[in-house]
């Protein structure tokens, strides 16, 4: 992860189908110039608590990712009707890695944070870092919250390590299929055509007036 902004993608590089023209497509996280070098080094230095995160080589990640697709949502009963969601193109089994969540790494200082963004997630609270995919990101930015769509999420955020082309390890955020709970729900994973859903967390919906209505059993995709 470099302090310099990643270059804008070449016109020759492919973009995902349905990718919005006003959003920059990223193949690795950008870093706000307001993130101090020392903080970035601490973030990317494994500790006893972070050393066990799943590791990937950047060469093993696909951009665009053929295993998912951005889908327009045209059902008036869907909470995100008129917007987009992310669906699986293959069968992801419980515990499978799906794709990374990429955006702009920034500090939690109000001057470095977009208060209107709904794509901002915490990376490290102690270091005061978050990642925002509102204006730049990858396909993962289209994953919706499960509320009003299903009884529970079928995917979740997890921290991962990614080894870049420079052979340096960087701490990223990944999306994984949830593993079955005690009641064995989600034992089939995510099937082709099924919408990938996470929980945005209670903090996201606190003080918001647009929280979806409770789920009613329907098949969306």
Write down the domain spans for the chain: 24-205
The correct CATH number of 24-205 out of 3.40.50.1860, 2.170.270.10, 3.65.10.10, 1.10.1750.10 is: 2.170.270.10
Give this prediction's pTM: 0.86
Given this model, what pLDDT does residue 56 score?
96
Task: Tell me phi and psi for residue 7, to 5 degrees.
Answer: -65, 150
Given this model, what pLDDT does residue 185 score?
58
Given this model, what pLDDT does residue 10 score?
43
Given this model, what pLDDT does residue 84 score?
97
Taking alpha carbons only, the member of 55, 45, 78, 51 closest to residue 164 is 55
Cα distance between residue 61 and residue 56, in whole Å: 8
Given this model, what pLDDT does residue 180 score?
80
**What is the full per-residue pLDDT of the chain (221 aa) written as tens digits?**
645 444 444 457 899 999 999 999 999 999 999 999 999 999 999 999 999 999 999 999 999 999 999 999 999 999 999 999 999 999 999 999 999 999 999 999 999 999 999 999 999 999 999 999 999 999 999 999 999 999 899 999 999 999 998 889 999 999 999 988 655 456 789 999 999 999 987 655 455 556 565 555 444 44
- Name, in order, each residue with C-beta under 8 angstroms of 177's C-beta and a sequence gap of 6 or more: 92, 93, 94, 95, 96, 98, 154, 155, 186, 189, 190
């Amino acid at each position: 992860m470099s302090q310099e902004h990643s270059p804008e993608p070449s016109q020759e590089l492919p973009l995902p189908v349905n990718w919005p023209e006003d959003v920059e497509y990223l193949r690795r996280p950008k870093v706000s110039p307001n993130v101090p070098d020392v903080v970035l080094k601490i973030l990317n230095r494994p500790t006893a608590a972070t050393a066990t995160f799943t590791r990937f080589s950047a060469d093993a990640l696909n951009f665009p990712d053929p295993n998912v697709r951005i889908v327009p949502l045209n059902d008036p009963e869907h909470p995100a009707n008129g917007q987009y969601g992310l669906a699986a193109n293959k069968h992801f089994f419980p515990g499978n890695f799906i794709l990374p969540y990429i955006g702009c790494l920034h500090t939690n200082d109000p001057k470095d944070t977009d208060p209107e963004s709904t794509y901002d997630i915490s990376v490290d609270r102690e270091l005061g870092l978050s990642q925002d995919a509102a204006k730049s990101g990858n396909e993962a930015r289209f994953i919706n919250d499960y509320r009003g769509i299903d009884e529970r999420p079928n995917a979740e955020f997890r921290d991962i390590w990614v080894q870049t082309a420079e052979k340096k390890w960087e701490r990223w955020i990944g999306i994984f299929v949830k593993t079955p709970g005690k009641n064995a729900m989600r034992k089939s994973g995510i099937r082709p055509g099924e919408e990938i859903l996470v929980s945005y967390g209670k903090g996201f919906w606190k003080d918001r007036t647009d929280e979806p209505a409770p789920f009613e059993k329907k098949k969306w995709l």
